């Protein structure tokens, strides 16, 4: 959109997905895995904290030592609404996984880059080339 000499970017709400495996059900391990995942998602997508609308974290049932939102708060996301939930306990599903769904504003032509770290790359073989 353009008004004289001023060009305004057209933004749209986009969802970004990501996951990471956690080495142990320990506070430090959950926070480290979450922080690594968030840094990769934000970095690969060129997002700023002000672009984020909300983040929904899920953990597999074997992870309950800490909330992933604590890591996001430590990263400076104190004004972004965050929610944590437990994944459905599906038999045979990959254990020790943190997932996140980020809602953020980005340019209308932005193609979201989803990030799957560690063993979770196997969950999205279709995105393997982008990892």
Active-site residue, 84 included: yes
Place of tokens 């254990």: 95
99 is catalytic: yes
Active site residue 44: no
Q: For this structure, is 109 an active site residue?
A: no
Q: Which CATH fold topology does 10-124 show?
A: 60s Ribosomal Protein L30; Chain: A; (3.30.1330)
pLDDT at 6: 46
> Cα–Cα distance between 23 and 32 in angstroms, integer?
10
Active-site option among 35, 44, 119, 124: 124
12 is catalytic: no
Q: Catalytic pick from 35, 40, 87, 119?
A: 87
Catalytic, 105? Answer no
Q: Domains of the chain: which residue ranges?
A: 10-124
pLDDT tens digits along 48-97: 999 999 999 999 999 999 999 999 999 999 999 999 999 999 999 999 99
Regarding pTM above 0.85, the answer is: yes
Structure-block tokens of residue 71? 């890591």
β-sheet bridge partners, residue 14: 104
Cα–Cα distance, 76 to 87 (Å, whole number): 25
* Max CA separation in the chain (angstroms): 59
């Amino acid at each position: 959109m353009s008004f004289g000499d001023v060009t305004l970017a057209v933004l749209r709400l986009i969802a970004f997905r990501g996951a990471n495996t956690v080495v142990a059900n320990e506070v430090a391990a959950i926070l480290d895995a979450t922080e690594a995942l968030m840094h990769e998602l934000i970095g690969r997508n060129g997002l700023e904290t002000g672009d984020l609308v909300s983040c929904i974290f899920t953990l597999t049932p074997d992870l309950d030592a800490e909330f992933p939102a604590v890591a996001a708060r430590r990263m400076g996301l104190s004004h972004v609404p965050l929610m944590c939930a437990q994944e459905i306990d599906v038999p045979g599903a990959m254990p020790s996984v943190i997932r996140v769904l980020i809602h953020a504003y980005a340019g209308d032509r932005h193609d979201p880059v989803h990030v799957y770290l560690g063993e979770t790359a196997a969950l999205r073989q279709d995105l393997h080339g982008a990892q």
